[in-house]
Structure 1
């Protein structure tokens, strides 16, 4: 897998919330942006505004998998979200297993004294950093 240089947005998809992070492939670093409320559906207008603001080279969606690598109940919903992102915005959409991203996000928030309200955005940050690391090591 190659990761063209540029800015990327990542998403931690959930039925109620969507965590968003932004990062740079050159440095392999990411930061949480915001958590969007999805209880009334995907906030497509806000996503468009974020894409207009950051002009990403691509998007990364975390796929929730079980520890053995098999799909979870949320995997199909996350894949559907990824297909919809690609269909609406015509950007490359990459997937990365998000195994334990929320656990890592909780640990980071505890260390930094952050608020749990930012958990989903920090999970998106973990997802993007994982994807950058896998791309740097040639993982698929």
Structure 2
């Protein structure tokens, strides 16, 4: 069993979720405040220390046509910083429509249109983690536990 942490990148806050490879499910975590896309690193560090993930997944907000958006570039920069600061494996995952999906779920389940009391960004992070786990189900063990090459890093940032 391996633990995976996922982030929904944002300018004001980051959604966060933790997933398990055995159950292929994820749960929302407390959102992390950010200022202009820069997270409170101490909150990121505490989360990573608590969950000790084998892999971190960062949502990549691509444009609807699949082209790279300004926000996607910023999310990639965040992913590179995560890797650099904590020496963790980091993967990017297409997050198109995850925030809309999270808001739809809150509306359907709770009849709410005011999302203030719901951690919509962390619900979006759940969708990011679960869709990544599902997409890699056939080779999940190889992804989460790759053989280490002597003197080289296997860490991947797409």
Give TM-score scaled by structure 1 length. Answer: 0.89
Contact 2:32 2:44 in 1 (8 A): no
Partner of 1:121: 122
Structure 1 position 73, deviation (Å): 1.8
Partner of 2:35: 39
In structure 1, runs of 5+ residues without a counterpart are none
Q: Which runs of 4+ in 1 moved over 4 A?
A: none
Distance in 2, Cα, partners of 1:99 & 1:45: 28
Distance in 2, Cα, partners of 1:116 & 1:7: 28
Equivalent of 1:101 in 81, 98, 103 = 98
In structure 2, runs of 5+ residues without a counterpart are 140-157
Give TM-score scaled by structure 2 length. Answer: 0.80
Q: Which residues of 2 match residues 51-130 of structure 1 at below 5 A?
A: 51-113=48-110, 116-117=115-116, 118-130=119-131
Deviates most, 42-51 or 80-89: 42-51
Distance in 1, Cα, partners of 2:120 & 2:84: 28
Distance in 2, Cα, partners of 1:73 & 1:121: 21
Equivalent of 1:18 in 5, 14, 21 = 14
Count of aligned pairs: 136
RMSD of aligned C-alpha atoms?
2.0
Structure 1 position 137, deviation (Å): 4.9
Where 1:77 maps in the other structure, the secondary structure is: helix
Higher relative contact order (CA 8 A, sep 6+): 1
Structure 1 position 86, deviation (Å): 0.4
Where 2:62 maps in the other structure, the secondary structure is: coil
